[in-house]
Amino acid sequence: MNPDICRERENATFNTETLTNMLDGSAEKTRRRREIESLVINDPDFQHDDPNFMSRSERYDAAVKKSSQMIMKLRDYGISDPEEIYFYKRTARRTFHEAFGLHYTMFLPTLYSQCTPEQQKKWLPLAENFKALGTYAQTELGHGTHIRKLETTATYDPSTQEFVLNCPTVSSIKWWPGGLGKTSNHAIVLAQLYTLGKCHGLHAFIVPIRCMKTHQPLPGVTVGDIGPKFGFEEVDNGYLKLENVRIPRENMLMKYAQVEPDGSYLKPPSDKLTYGTMVFIRAMIVGESARALSKSCTIAIRYSAVRHQSELRPGEPEPQILDYQAQQYKLFPLLAAAYAFTFVGQYMSDTYHRITGHINQGDFSQLPELHALAAGLKAFTTWTANAGIEVCRMACGGHGYLCCSGLPDIYVTFTPTCTYEGENTVMMLQTARFLVKCYRQAREGQQLSGTVSYLNEQQRLQPQPVSSRPTVVNINDLASLVEAYKLRAAKLVEVAAKSLQGELQRSISQEDAWNNSSIELVRASDAHCHYVVVELFAAKLSEISDTAVHSVLNTLALLYALHGITLNSGDFLQLSQITQRIKALLVEIRPNAVALVDSFDYNDEMLNSVLGRYDGNVYESMFEWAKRSPLNRTEVRSFIIFNIIQKK
Ligand SMILES: CCCCCCCCCCCCCCCCCCCCCC(=O)SCCNC(=O)CCNC(=O)[C@H](O)C(C)(C)COP(=O)(O)OP(=O)(O)OC[C@H]1O[C@@H](n2cnc3c(N)ncnc32)[C@H](O)[C@@H]1OP(=O)(O)O
Ligand SMILES: Cc1cc2nc3c(=O)[nH]c(=O)nc-3n(C[C@H](O)[C@H](O)[C@H](O)COP(=O)(O)OP(=O)(O)OC[C@H]3O[C@@H](n4cnc5c(N)ncnc54)[C@H](O)[C@@H]3O)c2cc1C
């Protein structure tokens, strides 16, 4: 064990186990999570080669093998609780995606949420037993964001009681779905429904694409892999062209909208229910942001504790790079964000399950808020985490650029979360749409509840000009900082609403007014989400009874809130003390930095980083890793070089 890292742990002011238990929910939950993780870590079947030394095809094959092994083993162990399955899989996957990822994250959830009981009876046993291996095929070459314009059609033929599916143009070819290229034999296809000559918009259909016996593409189906990408090398994101593919009427997901045998159409209670799976994944991605950022911080902070570089004082030994204020300023606000997002992720998951419970009972009243919250927080947390991973990588200097640091893999695997499941700017604009609507309702005297209830105060604040509103009062008091964020959000929602109003007064169309105000609208959403994160972090503190843990998390929460103010200082009144206070907080956090990342409790196998190793023995491991590079298998690799040298 590296002596520096041992000393860091000895000097921590709190018990890491207590904090880990809190993050997991209880000591028992920590015990069970670790038990599940050790099933993977101690399993010789999961000691695969490092994917970085494999070709793309080898990576895909290994990912398929791993996915099928996971299915068998989960069955053998009798693990069926979704959360426990998730723990098992994320340990086995490590930083990467799994070959059957879309089957779990989108195909199955769509079947659970959008099938009638009869459809569930047919499809769930097939899907849960992996006979029907599925993906979610929505995006087309021409459209990913604006899904109302998708071109794939499903036309009902009452004479045979079938839908006929077609991708009529090049731009309508389905493009991107994970697991579509080579793995899946079924797809949930989103298509424009036509019945009795009328288009009823997007609906979801279960489409068999490959033979369940031979795995060959079915007649009318052209399907394949879209080629190498920025990351996701083990995933066969695919294309799909459907030409007169017939499926039975029962293959339309009919929990909400229905097509009767004679072709008559029954409307759903809300046409946005077809978008339900996207809301689910957006809600879950918030927690994924926390995990990607906490892993990156674990690597960068542990490494910064063992890396010595430069001189602080002449003649003295080189200090740990974690002692440089500039290094702390890069990493500790990210560490604080990782904790904040962990709590926000838990909140988002709870909120999703609570509101979907109401939706299942027929109460759709909270759907708009759920959509706005999931869209906004997905965008807010993925943007921050995405940028933060890169900061962590650069904070490791040159070694951060090596794949064995783990950071490049975390980055390329995480960065598409800013794009998939709703491009982030577009998601922020969806949240803004909700906020502006709420703002107008509040102005009309309606009492708002939930995360937007602060907009009720617009009325009270109305006579005051925006610039004279109170701002940060006490920079050491979290409640006061929450208030400052609340006022900033209220102010920026008002600015956006007024911009819209101003544009409309110039008698331009609603749509153009919206486009001309989109910078203000995105800023309003960003401010709203930032407020929600600070609020939830502060609320979490009130649940913590352990004094030492409370104290260190309070320091992190203050840093998160104050750092956010300095990044957006134009929106707050500038307070000269804030930078000084931030510097003091960095000093406070310094002795606990390693213990705070230890509390995330990532074991070495999951972290997969030579720089972030628990024992801090980074240099020995880097050398061992380098020796395994395929280029080192022979001393003379390229005979071209050899020939050149010989000619000289
Ligand atoms: C911890 C333990 C846990 C245990 C369990 C753990 C298990 C799981 C673990 C999971 C780990 C995670 C990792 C994931 C990795 C997976 C890889 C994923 C791969 C990626 C897959 C994909 O990438 S798959 C394609 C996604 N592709 C989009 O994402 C398209 C975006 N594009 C749109 O989504 C629409 O195009 C867009 C823009 C809204 C406009 O839609 P539009 O034109 O129809 O609507 P308008 O804008 O006109 O709005 C009209 C009104 O609809 C309202 N509204 C709109 N949407 C609504 C909605 N969803 N719900 C309610 N209301 C909605 C709106 O608010 C308006 O309301 P109002 O009128 O009242 O104002
Ligand atoms: C790794 C990966 C996996 C994926 N997996 C799947 C999958 O399994 N299934 C599936 O169906 N899809 C999948 N996708 C596709 C993904 O959902 C889309 O790429 C995503 O929804 C964004 O759509 P787009 O590509 O059309 O971007 P575009 O909408 O073309 O975005 C390009 C730019 O235009 C801007 N823009 C677009 N519309 C607006 C607007 N209204 N206002 C302001 N700015 C706007 C955006 O902000 C962005 O800057 C995947 C994508 C990736 C990268």
Instruction: Provide mean pLDDT across the span 74-84.
Output: 94
Q: Is residue 178 part of an annotated ligand binding site?
A: yes
Cβ-based burial of 219 (10 A; exposed 0-12, middle 13-18, buried ≥19): exposed
Nearest CA to ligand 1 atom 34: 422
- For residue 577, is it within any domain? no
pLDDT, tens digit (0-9, with 9 covering 90-100), for 127-163? 999 999 999 999 999 999 999 999 999 999 999 999 9
The per-residue pLDDT for 463 is 43
**Which pair of structure tokens corresponds to residue 20?**
């880990």
The per-residue pLDDT for 274 is 85
Percent of the chain with pLDDT over 90: 83
| Ligand 2 binding site (Cβ under 6 Å of any ligand atom) | 102, 136-139, 143-145, 176-178, 232, 237, 416, 419-423, 425-426, 429
Quickly state the pLDDT bin for 643 (edges 50, 70, 90). Answer: confident
**Which pair of structure tokens corresponds to residue 77?**
């162990």
How far apart are the CA of 230 and the centre of ligand 2, in A? 15
How far apart are the C-alpha atoms of 64 and 517, rounded to whole Å? Answer: 47
- For residue 502, is it within any domain? no
Domain range enclosing 166: 134-268
Residues whose CB falls within 8 Å of the CB of residue 107, separated by 6 or more in sequence, listed in order:
127, 134, 135, 136, 184, 186, 187, 188
- For residue 423, is it within any domain? no
- For residue 248, is it within any domain? yes
The single-letter DSSP state of residue 455 is G
How far apart are the C-alpha atoms of 186 and 180, rounded to whole Å? Answer: 8
The per-residue pLDDT for 50 is 86
How far apart are the C-alpha atoms of 446 and 442, rounded to whole Å? Answer: 5
- For residue 553, is it within any domain? no
Nearest CA to ligand 2 atom 6: 177
Q: How many separate domains does the chain show?
A: 1
| Residues 91, 395, 580, 14, CA torsion sign | positive
Instruction: Provide mean pLDDT across the span 396-401.
Output: 98
Instruction: Provide mean pLDDT across the span 410-427.
Output: 98
Q: Which residue among the candidates 288, 421, 520, 588 is catalytic per the annotation? A: 421
With 70 as the cut, is the pLDDT of residue 642 above it? no
How far apart are the CA of 221 and the centre of ligand 1, in A? 27
Q: Containing H/E element for 596?
A: helix 593-598
- For residue 22, is it within any domain? no
The per-residue pLDDT for 35 is 97
User: What rounded mean pLDDT belongs to the chain?
Assistant: 93
Quickly state the pLDDT bin for 627 (edges 50, 70, 90). Answer: confident
Percent of the chain with pLDDT over 70: 96
Ligand 1 atom index nearest CA of 420: 23
Q: Per mean pLDDT, which range of 11-20, 135-144, 516-525, 561-570 is the poorest?
A: 561-570
The per-residue pLDDT for 573 is 60
pLDDT, tens digit (0-9, with 9 covering 90-100), for 338-379? 999 999 999 999 999 999 999 989 899 999 999 999 999 999
Does the Cβ of 416 fall within 6 Å of ligand 1? no
Quickly state the pLDDT bin for 459 (edges 50, 70, 90). Answer: low
Residues whose CB falls within 8 Å of the CB of residue 633, separated by 6 or more in sequence, listed in order:
none
The per-residue pLDDT for 575 is 53
Q: What is the CATH number of the domain that holds 158?
A: 2.40.110.10
Nearest CA to ligand 2 atom 17: 420
Q: Is 421 a catalytic residue?
A: yes
- For residue 338, is it within any domain? no
Ligand 2 atom index nearest CA of 139: 11
Does the Cβ of 86 fall within 6 Å of ligand 1? yes
With 90 as the cut, is the pLDDT of residue 641 above it? no
How far apart are the C-alpha atoms of 163 and 154, rounded to whole Å? Answer: 6
Of 647 and 5, the one with more pLDDT: 5
Does the Cβ of 367 fall within 6 Å of ligand 1? yes
Quickly state the pLDDT bin for 580 (edges 50, 70, 90). Answer: confident
With 90 as the cut, is the pLDDT of residue 472 above it? no
With 60 as the cut, is the pLDDT of residue 299 above it? yes
How far apart are the C-alpha atoms of 461 and 337, rounded to whole Å? Answer: 31
Does the Cβ of 83 fall within 6 Å of ligand 1? yes
The per-residue pLDDT for 396 is 98
How far apart are the CA of 419 and the centre of ligand 2, in A? 5
User: Of the residues 433, 436, 500, 510, which should be mutated to test ligand 1's pocket, given the most ligand atoms within 8 Å of the CB?
Assistant: 433
Model-wide pTM > 0.90: yes
Q: Is residue 139 part of an annotated ligand binding site?
A: yes
The per-residue pLDDT for 305 is 98
Quickly state the pLDDT bin for 471 (edges 50, 70, 90). Answer: low
How far apart are the CA of 420 and the centre of ligand 1, in A? 10
pLDDT, tens digit (0-9, with 9 covering 90-100), for 267-297? 998 888 889 889 999 999 999 999 999 999 9
- For residue 515, is it within any domain? no
How far apart are the CA of 415 and the centre of ligand 2, in A? 13
